[in-house]
Structure 1
Amino acid sequence: MARIELKNIQKKWGAVWGVRDVNLDIADEEFIVFLGPSGCGKTTTMRMISGLEDPSEGDIVMDGEVMNDVDARDRDVAMVFQGYALYPNMSIYENIRFPLRMRGVPKGDHDRLIKRAAELVELTDYLDRKPGALSGGQRQRAALARAIVRQPHVFLMDEPLSNLDAKLRQHMRVQIKHIQRELKITTVYVTHDQIEAMTLADRIVIMEKGAIQQIGTPDEIYNDPANTFVAAFIGSPPMNLIEGTLENGTFSAEGVRVEGLSTSHSGAITLGVRPEDCAVDPASTHLAGSVYGVEPTGDMTFLTLKAGEKLIEVKADREYRADLNAAEKVRFDLSRIYLFDTASGLRLR
């Protein structure tokens, strides 16, 4: 398939930076996800890989060949967009067939390739229908089949599931990952949805303001965040970040006191702890607050406590219930505490 290297990639429009100093090596057959908020540079980076945008500086390299001056149509990549981009006057069969016609694939191979692609996305029974007769999920699968039928070296997917409801998104995530593993095609996927990133990726590239914040496997990103941006962006609910001071191994903030931290750092520190690493404990001295919200979800209860002006999220037992404004105490798992420099946001090791 294809190995992709991004070497010192920059993109700017006049004085406006879109992407800054991106360096990344995407392995052959890897599924890599660019994750970040709107405007962070993830789609621009993918468009430069595709050839739809030219880098201001740096090189796009595929299998050892610099692609900067190679037209998009000659890069052997297939794109799947947020919008399905299907031709409404054509049947699904003809929509899937369209790339084969454009690339001059012998007509005798069309039917076999189309039916194989349709089978992979479970659309065999819908090939004679037009896009208007299909659901959103079925149309997205048709767009995916149109990309598959080309047998490209690289898949590029730009938020392809954003228009689907939650249940369909979950189903399509499973399908996309299964298809990528079966076809063994290098895949670059862009999303702002951290659940998609965590469930799909071999590695995640988190971006903010055009720069890479961290690269790692889903486990590495979740368990070892490099800074407060990554810590707050990954997790549902995200990590609690509490600004305070640290002196002689004791962290203090309004309503919070954590002793016995094994660190030589001191001064203005942000303490991070994930909701699942917090537990309601009347005997705890770590956090004391008032109940701000209780949200039963069936398998657990989300508890929100207010300590001073800060809201703290806790994943409590499914049976937990409490009245609003009731006093409550929470214990932190000290082995799962994270410390960050408040000024820079960088992780303190």
Structure 2
Amino acid sequence: MASIQLKNVVKSFGSFIGVQDMTLNIADEEFLVLLGPSGCGKTTTMRMIAGLEHPTGGEIRIGGDLMNEVDARDRDVAMVFQGYALYPNMSIYENIRFPLRMRKIPKVRHDELIQRAAEMVELGLFLDRKPGALSGGQRQRAALARAIVRQPQVFLMDEPLSNLDAKLRASMRVQIKHLQRELRVTTVYVTHDQIEAMTLADRIVIMNKGVIQQIGTPDEIYSNPANTFVAGFIGSPPMNLIPGSASNGIFIAEGMTAPCPSGLSGKVTLGIRPEDCRVGGDNLHGVVYGVEPTGDVTYLTVRTASRKIEIKAARDFRAGIDSAVTVGYDPDRLYFFGEDGNRVGAD
């Protein structure tokens, strides 16, 4: 298998910079997720690793070897796409077999390799069917089997679960994670879905406008967001971000005050996650704007004089719209961000 190194990689499209000065080291056998909104540069980064796009500047190495001028077919990587990319006129067996034929693997080995890959994704009983006769989840598993059969040194997965319903996405996440651990293949996975990122990744790279915002484990990203973009992107619902000002160890915003680091002054944004808020207390006063029971938790939106606050309330909490409510929070779970958006007072 192989490590991947990107050093000062730039990709521009005319005057538009898609990826800006990216330096990133991906360890051998690591499962790394590129996460961010549409247009942030994550798919462009993957395409450069694959050789489908060439960097405008910088270096890309796989297994220590410089890849900048190496054709995609010679990089020993396998890609899994959002759209499955199966040949509709071929059986699943022939779809999985296709990479073996292209790489001129001896025919005597084909059946063994195909059967092994199919069993790993639980498709052994469907090899004679064509893609149109399979469900979305089965077609995605066929695409995975086609990547597995190549035995590449790198897997590249570009939003492979986006076309599936919620239940299938959950089961496929488990299967992809298990397969990656079993195969021990370095994997780069692109998604805009934070749940996929948090559940799959060894490390997450959060991108915005072509620039890396933060790199860390899921726990590090969630517990110690580097800036307001990361804080507002990770979490469901995302962190409440409340603009205000700080002076003499006190944060002040309309309708609330809170203790803050003594050295903090000027314009400041306070962050507090919905699960660290509670109904009751005297930190904030407002009215109920929305109540969303989900079974295990109730999502409550409280409207104050100038903003809306999201809270994870008890599963049995109910209240009428526009009824008065007070909100408390855990003072040890407050985050503060400076005028530039970067976190202050971080561990």
**Alignment-derived partner of residue 26 in structure 1:** 26
* Partners of 1:89 and 1:294 in 2: CA distance: 49
The one-letter code of the counterpart of 2:341 is G
- Are 1:254 and 1:307, in contact at CA under 8 Å, matched by a contact in 2? no
Equivalent-residue separation in structure 1 for 2:231 and 2:304 (angstroms): 20
Counterpart of 1:169 in structure 2 is 169
Matching residue of 2:343: 347
Matching residue of 1:41: 41
1:51 aligns with 2:41: no
Partner Cα separation in structure 2 for residue 92 and residue 116 of structure 1: 14
Residue equivalent to 2:110: 110
Output one character per residue of 1:34-54: Cα deviation in whole Å (capped at 9) or x when no partner. Answer: 000000000000000000000
What is the letter of the counterpart of residue 329 of structure 1? T
Matched, 1:261 2:283: no
Structure 1 residues 183-205: Cα deviation after superposition (integer angstroms, max 9, x where no partner): 00000000000000000000000
* Residue identity (%): 70
Q: Which residue of 2 aligns with 1:13?
A: 13
TM-score where L is the length of structure 2: 0.98
Paired residues of 1:197 and 1:204 also in contact (CA < 8 A)? yes
Structure 1 position 96, deviation (Å): 0.2
Counterpart for residue 307 of structure 2? 310
Larger displacement relative to structure 2 (248-257 or 326-335): 248-257
In the TM superposition, what whole-angstrom CA distance separates every residue of 1:132-174 from its partner, at most 9, and x where no partner exists? 0000110000001000000000000000000000000001000
**8 Å contact kept, 2:250–2:262:** no
1:234-288 alpha-carbon deviations (Å, 9 max, x no partner) = 0000000000112222222122222x3343101211000000000111xx23111
Equivalent residue, structure 1, for 2:199: 199
Counterpart-to-counterpart distance in 1, 2:169 and 2:162: 8
The aligned amino acid for 2:333 is R
Q: Which segment drifts farther, 262-271 or 224-233?
A: 262-271
Match of 1:114, SS state, is helix
CA distance in structure 2 between the partners assigned to 1:263 and 1:33 by the alignment: 37
Q: Is the 8 A contact 1:213 1:230 kept in 2?
A: yes
Q: Secondary structure at the match of 1:286?
A: strand
- 2:273 corresponds to 1:274: yes
Structure 2 Cα separation of the partners of residues 33 and 263 of structure 1: 37
Q: Any idea what the Cα deviations from partners look like across 1:215-245, whole Å, max 9, x if unmatched?
A: 0000000000000000000000000000011
Separation in 1 of the partners of 2:298 and 2:80?
37
Distance 1:240 1:256 in 2: 14
Letter in 2 for 1:252: I
- The answer to whether residue 295 in structure 2 is matched with residue 298 in structure 1 is yes
Moved more, 290-299 or 122-131: 290-299
Deviation at 1:334, TM superposition (A): 1.0
Shift of 1:62: 1.2
2-structure distance, mates of 1:321, 1:247: 38
Distance 1:289 1:266 in 2: 27
* Aligned residue pairs, count: 345
The separation in 1 between residues aligned to 2:282 and 2:344, in whole angstroms, is 24
Helix, strand or coil at the partner of 2:206: strand
Displacement of 1:331 in angstroms is 1.0
User: What secondary structure does 1:319 align onto?
Assistant: coil
Amino acid at match of 1:28: D
| 2:322 is equivalent to residue 325 of structure 1 | yes
Report the AA paired with residue 12 of structure 1.
Answer: S
Distance 2:73 2:147 in 1: 13
User: CA RMSD, aligned part only?
Assistant: 0.8
Asked whether 1:213 is paired with 2:213, we answer yes
Name the SS for the 2:343 alignment partner: coil
Give the SS at the match of 2:243: strand
Contact 1:8 1:22 in 2 (8 A): yes
What secondary structure does 2:318 align onto?
coil
Distance of 2:314 and 2:333 partners within structure 1:
19
User: 1:142-161 counterparts in 2 under 5 A?
Assistant: 142-161=142-161
SS at match of 2:97: helix
Q: Is the 8 A contact 2:247 2:262 kept in 1?
A: no
Letter in 2 for 1:27: A
Assess if the C-alpha contact under 8 Å between 1:256 and 1:307 holds in 2.
no
Instruction: Provide the C-alpha distance between the structure 2 equivalents of 1:329 and 1:267, rounded to a whole number of angstroms.
Output: 27
